[in-house]
Structure 1
Amino acid sequence: MGDIPNEIGAGLTFRAVVEQPHYPAPEWGLTLFLRGPGTIDLESIATGSAHAFEAAATVTKDWAPGRYAYVIRATDGSDVQQVAQGEVLIGQDIAAQAQGFDSRDHVRKVLDAIEAVIENRATIDQQSYTINNRSLQRTPLSELVKLRNQYRTELAAKKTRRRGGFGRSIKVRLT
């Protein structure tokens, strides 16, 4: 079994312990490769027969936020095997952000924009108009409401997933 969290906070200490019965430490070492907005490679430290990945907050503060693909590879010095893969989100280091930082994610930004358009619709009745051979067509209100409902549902699902707390882990069976 292994624990690689689905979110990692930049500026926070990172620890993940992975147990690989087929590739036990210290005979085997693991390397965690993360690729996305940045390049991050972490070598495991043997803890009994398990493997621990660690990075101090002074290191993670420099990790570029964004979505990363990861793989874990095991090696005994000559043989190399891939034992896991997945995706992880590295979040912004909130302590390093300046005043005026917009912490909203994509879903929240789009939902806010859709709701602003719907609110402004109350004062604008035209579906389309033309001025000097240039035309503008507005998205029908029914489509905006449908999009708003879709993004509200997506935002509610994200909130539900996060109720377990930041850095929540998912258990993955590695064979």
Structure 2
Amino acid sequence: MEPKKLHAGDSVTWAREAPAYPSADGWSLCFALRGPGSLDVVSTDGEPYQFRMTASQTRALPPGAYHWACYAIRDDERATLESGRMEILADLLQAETFDGRSHARRMLDLIEAALEKRIPKDQQSYEIDGMKLDRIPVERLEALRTRYRREVAAEGRRGRSPFGRYSHARL
């Protein structure tokens, strides 16, 4: 079964059954991964078919959401067996810096920082040295803060992190 999540730089192997497409009849399986990057992996012969993505192959994949499809291929014939989604997570061994906050958490932090340093409510824009700066109205920032607080709370309930589910060690 294809992995759902994978850290870039990890190697992974899996098997897939395809009894309607036996290798003895010239069939092979191909796994295609598309998203911020791409990777194609051809199975080894035999049943069940075996797939392997090496560490160097996955290291080249940028983090993000990917779509995959598994195809049975023989000469000029092709059949899609299954498709799905996979998340590629960051390779911390290769990253110089890493912000592990989700999009919602980053947005909430920015909005709260903007509200803390807010100019007076009645002054929505100002000019310095001929440059005009406009501000997002406080009411809009407060509405966005409410939205992103909900998203961050939902992530907490699901146990989400940039590395999938996590657990806390007890000392």
Asked whether the 8 Å contact 2:70–2:82 carries over to 1, the reply is yes
Which residue in the other structure is 1:40 paired with? 39
- The one-letter amino acid of 1:53's match is F
Alpha carbons of 1:141 and 1:130: their partners in 2 closer, same or farther (altered >3 Å)? closer
- What is the CA–CA distance in structure 2 between the aligned matches of 1:62 and 1:134, rounded to whole Å? 43
Report the counterpart of residue 98 of structure 2 in structure 1. Answer: 101
SS at match of 2:99: coil
Task: Check 1:136–1:81 CA distance in 2 against 1; reply closer, same or farther (3 A cut).
Answer: same
Distance in 2 between residues matched to 1:24 and 1:157, nearest whole Å: 45
1:117 aligns with 2:130: no
Pairing 1:24-103 to 2, within 5 Å after superposition: 27=25, 28-45=27-44, 48=47, 50-98=48-96, 100-103=97-100
Gaps of 5+ in 2: 166-171
Aligned residues: 160
SS at match of 1:102: coil
AA aligned opposite 2:120: D
Which residue is equivalent to 1:128?
A: 124
Distance 1:79 1:88, change over 3 A: same
Distance 1:115 1:130, change over 3 A: closer
Aligned AA (1:69): H
Code of the residue aligned with 1:74 in structure 2: it is: A
Give TM-score scaled by structure 1 length. Answer: 0.71
User: What is the Cα deviation at residue 134 of structure 1?
Assistant: 5.5
Q: Distance in 1 between matches of 2:139 and 2:114?
A: 12
Tell me by how many angstroms 1:108 deviates.
Answer: 2.6
SS of the residue aligned with 1:111? Answer: helix
Displacement, 1:24?
5.2
Judging changes above 3 Å, is the alpha-carbon distance between structure 1 residues 33 and 137 closer, same or farther for their aligned structure 2 residues? same
**1:4-28 C-alpha deviation (Å, 9 max, x unpaired):** 3332210112233333454456654
Helix, strand or coil: the match of 2:41? strand
Q: Which residue of 1 aligns with 2:168?
A: none
Between stretches 146-155 and 23-32, larger displacement belongs to: 23-32
Q: How far apart, in 2, do the equivalents of 1:22 and 1:161 lie?
A: 40
**Higher RCO (C-alpha under 8 Å, 6+ residues apart):** 1
Structure 1 residues 19 and 156 mapped into 2: Cα distance closer, same or farther (>3 Å)? Answer: farther
Give, as a single letter, the amino acid of the residue that structure 2 aligns with 1:29.
Answer: S
Question: CA contact under 8 A between 1:128 and 1:135: conserved in structure 2?
Answer: no
